[in-house]
Amino acid sequence: MSHELRVKAISQVTDRTPLPPKVPARLEAIWATDVFTLSKMQACLPKDVFKSLQNTIKTSGKLDISVAGVVAAAMKDWAISKGALYYAHIFYPLTNATAEKHDGFISVQSDGSVISEFTGKVLVQGEPDGSSFPNGGLRATNAARGYTAWDVTSPAYVMETDNGVTLCIPTVFVSWTGEALDKKTPLLRSNAAMNKAATRVLKLLGYTDIATVNSSCGAEQEYFLVDAHFAHNRPDLLLTGRTLFGKSPAKGQQFDDHYFGAIPERVQVFMQDVEEKLYRLGIPAKTRHNEVAPGQFEIAPFFEAANVASDHQQLIMTILKATAKKHGFVCLLHEKPFAGVNGSGKHVNWSVGNPTQGNLLDPGDTPHKNLQFLLFCGAVIRGVHRYGSLLRAVVATASNDHRLGANEAPPAIISVYLGTQLEEVFEQIAAGEVKDSAHGGFMDLGVDTLPIFIKDPGDRNRTSPFAFTGNRFEFRAVGSGQSVSGPLVAMNTILADSLTWTADKLEAQLNQGIELSAAVFTILKEVMNEHRAVIFGGDGYSEEWHKLAEERGLPNLRTTADALPVLKDAAIEELFERTGVLTPVELESRFDVYAEQYVQMIGVEAKLVISMAKTIIYPAAMRYLSDLASTIANLSGIGITIDKETVEKVASLSQSLMENVSKLSSALSLHDFESAEAHMQYCAQTIRPLMDKVREHVDALEGEIADDLWPLPTYQEMLFVK
C-alpha cells in the first residue's frame, strides 16, 4: 500500500468515462420475461396441472407431487429456449446471503449420446451438504445430509450473466432430520400461522368468504457506491465491508445537499442497468434517489407477498453488487461503512391482507368505526409490547450495532408510533368512549397556481423503530445487509400470537351474548390498559425518551451481545413452538449461529485493525517522521529553527497507536469463555472499545501526516469522487 497507488486510483477515477446508457426498453416488453410466471405455465401446462399449481400458489393448498414431472418438463423447455444449460436450486442459509448449486440438464445415454433431462424428482428435491452451512450443531461432517425442496409459491426464473444462463428454482433448505436450516422455511410457517389466526378473527367478525391472508413486504434498500479503484486499495472495505479507519472530511452531510439531489450521471447509468435486470425478473423497483450521506443511494420495490418479496430482496442485493462491478463500482451493503455520516438501513414496510377483505391494516376514512382495522392494529400493539425484545434480536448483528441508537436510525428501544389520529382513537378507547377520529383536511399553500390537496391526518416520525405509515407498519431497524426474512418471521409470529389471543377473547365475549362492537372495544380497552406503554410519538433520539422508556419497562438492548440472548428466553421459545414456526432446537441453533457470526466478525475486524495499523499506518508515520527529522537537520544546519510540535505530536500518536495495538493483540489472545453470551459481551465491552481506541489514533495521524505519504484512499475521495 503506498501513496502512489492512491494517486493512481484518483486519476483512474477522474479519467473514467461512464458506460453509455442503454436505450431504455419499454417496461411492458421486458417485464418478467425471465420468469416462469403463471401465465407462461398456463400456456404450456395441461389444464388440470395448471389448476393444481394455481390452487397451491393462491390458497396455500397442499402441493400435488404427481404434477411435478409435467411441470419440470415444461420448465426445462422454457429455460432452454432462454439459453439455459444449467439449473440451480436457490436457497437462503443462515448467512443473509444466497446459496446455489448448479447442475447441467445433460444426461448421458448408454450409446454415448446425450439428451437434455430435468425430471420431477430433481425439481422437487435437491441434496446439498447440510454441514457446510451455519447450522448451530444441527448437522456435522459425519451427519451432513441436507435437502432443498421446491417452493412452488415463489416463481422460477432464469439468471443471465456473462458466463451464461441458469434456471433458478427457489427452494427451502432443511436437514435430514427435518429441521429448518434456512430463512425461507420459518417464513412460510409464520405466514401459515398468521393466516390461521387472522382467518379465525375474520370469521368471528362475521365474514364467510375469506381468502388466504398473507403478509406483504416492501423493503427500502439503502447502499453506498465506492469506485472500485479506491475500494481495492482499502483492505478493510474488501474484507469487512466497512472502513476500520478514516478521518471525516471537512464536508460530510451537514448541508443536507445530497438527499434527493441530482443523481450523478455515472450512478444513474448504473441504476438504469440494475432496474432493467430487475424488471426482467419481475421485481417491481419503483423508487430510486440519492440518500442523506454523500455516496449513498436507495432503491425501493413495490409491495409484494412476503415470501416473494424476501426472495426478490436477495436478488436485489445480488444484482446491485454484480452490476456495480460492471460499472467500476463496489456496492457496500454494510450498515455503517463510513463513520461520521449516516449508515444504511433496509426499512421493511409490512402489512397483512387478502383479496376478499383487502388490507387489514388500512384504517379507512373513519378508523374509529373500523372494527376490523382496530382489532388487527391492536393485535400489533400487543405483540410489539410483549415481544419487542424479539424484534430487537432479529436485527442484531455486529454491523447493525454501529447504526442502531445513533441519531440517524431508530433507537434500540422498540416502540410503536401510531400518529396523532390513531393515537387519539386508541386513547378514546382506553377512556371508554369513542367519539370521532381526526381528519386531515386540505392543504392550501396560498398560491392560486398551486393545487389544494388532501392533508394526511397524522405526521410521520422518522425516529420510531416501528411506525404506522398510513396502511402499514414500517420496521426501520432492519440493517441494509440483512435478509428481510428474519424480521418478517418475527412480525408474522407475534401477530399470529396476538390474533389468537384476540380470537379467544372475542369468541368468549360473543358466546356470552355480548354485541360484536361492544366485545371488540372491551378487548381493545384491555390492550390499551396493558400495552399502551409501547406507544410513543415523540423524539426517539432524546435522552428524555430513554429515561421514560426505562420507567415504562421497555428494554434498551444496545448491542448484539445484549439482544441475541433473548432468543433463549423461555417466553420466546414458547411463542415459536406454540405457533409452529420454530421448534426449540431450531431456535437454539439460530442463537448459536448468530452468536458465532457476531464473535467471528468482531475477530476478523480486530485482526485487520492490528494488521493495517502495523503494516500500513505505522510505517507511513515513521516515513513522515524521518522526512521531518531530515528537514529539521538540514534547516538547522543553515541556522533556521522550526517548530517541532508536529514531530512531537506524530511521534506521540504513533507510540500510543502501537501501545493500543499491543493491548488489542493481548485481548484477542484470551480464548476461555464459559458461554457464548460471555464471549459476545467480551467482544462488545473489551474488543470493540480497544478497536475504537486504535482508530482514534489512526484518524488523528491522518490529520497530521503529509498527504503525499498517506497510503489509504480517504473519505473525501471515496465519498465525493464518482
pLDDT digits (tens, 9 = 90+) for 565-614: 999 999 999 999 999 999 999 999 999 999 999 999 999 999 999 999 99
Nearest CA to 437 among 459, 457, 417? 457
Q: Determine the angle formed by the axes of helices 371-393 and 570-579, rounding to 10 degrees.
A: 130
pLDDT in tens, 470-510: 899 999 999 999 999 999 999 999 999 999 999 999 999 99
| 332-353: average pLDDT | 95
Domain boundaries, the chain: 31-182, 598-720
Check pLDDT > 60 for residue 638.
yes
So what's the pLDDT on residue 136? 81
Residue type, 146: G
Q: What is the per-residue pLDDT across 270-313, written as a single tens digit (0 to 9) for each?
A: 999 999 999 999 999 999 988 989 999 999 999 999 999 999 99
Which neighbouring-strand residues pair with 332? 224
pLDDT score for 459: 63
What's the pLDDT score for residue 229? 92
Q: Quick one: what percent of the chain has pLDDT higher than 70?
A: 93
Dihedral sign of CA atoms 171, 172, 173, 176 in order: negative
**What is the per-residue pLDDT for 450?**
55
- pLDDT of 436 higher than 70: no
Q: How high is the pLDDT of residue 454?
A: 55
At 611 the pLDDT is 98
- Quick check: 200 pLDDT over 70? yes
Neighbour tally for 35: CB within 10 Å: 19
Torsion angle of alpha carbons 119, 124, 130, 134, nearest 10°?
Answer: 130
| pLDDT of the residue at 107 | 74
Question: Comparing 197-206, 523-532, 637-646, which segment has the lowest mean pLDDT?
Answer: 637-646
Nearby residues of 676 by Cβ (< 8 Å), 6 or more positions away: 591, 592, 595, 596, 599
Residue 397: the pLDDT is: 96
In sequence order, what DSSP letters do the residues of 626-672 get, joined into one string?
HHHHHHHHHHHHTT-----HHHHHHHHHHHHHHHHHHHHHHHHT---
* DSSP secondary structure code for residue 355 in this structure: T
Tell me how crowded residue 547 is: count the other CB atoms within 10 A of its CB: 10
Task: Quote the pLDDT of residue 330.
Answer: 97
Report which residue type is found at 631. Answer: T
Per-residue pLDDT, averaged over 617-642, amounts to 85
Instruction: Convert the pLDDT of each residue in 539-563 to its tens digit.
Output: 998 999 999 999 999 999 999 999 9
pLDDT band at 425 (very low <50, low <70, confident <90, very high): confident
pLDDT band at 222 (very low <50, low <70, confident <90, very high): very high
Stretch 116-144: mean pLDDT, rounded? Answer: 82
3-state secondary structure (DSSP) of residue 150? strand
- Burial of residue 48 (CB within 10 Å: 0-12, 13-18, 19+) is exposed
> Which CATH superfamily hosts domain 31-182?
Glutamine synthetase, N-terminal domain (3.10.20.70)
Question: Which pLDDT score is estimated for 256?
Answer: 76
Report the alpha-carbon distance of residue 633 to residue 45 in Å, rounded. Answer: 87
Residue type, 75: M
**Is-contact 36 156, C-beta < 8 A?**
yes
Q: What is the pLDDT of residues 24-63, one digit of tens each?
A: 778 889 999 999 999 999 999 999 999 999 888 888 788 8
Residue 440: pLDDT band (50, 70, 90) is low
Mean pLDDT over the full length of the chain: 90
The pLDDT of residue 613 is 98
Under the banding of pLDDT at 50, 70 and 90, the label for residue 564 is: very high
What is the per-residue pLDDT for 612? 98
Model pLDDT, residue 405: 66
What's the confidence (pLDDT) of residue 445? 53
| The pLDDT value given to residue 630 | 87
CB-count exposure of residue 4 (10 Å: 0-12, 13-18, 19+): exposed
pLDDT tens figures, 58-101: 887 888 888 899 999 999 999 999 999 999 999 999 998 899 88
Topology classification of domain 598-720: Four Helix Bundle (Hemerythrin (Met), subunit A) (1.20.120)
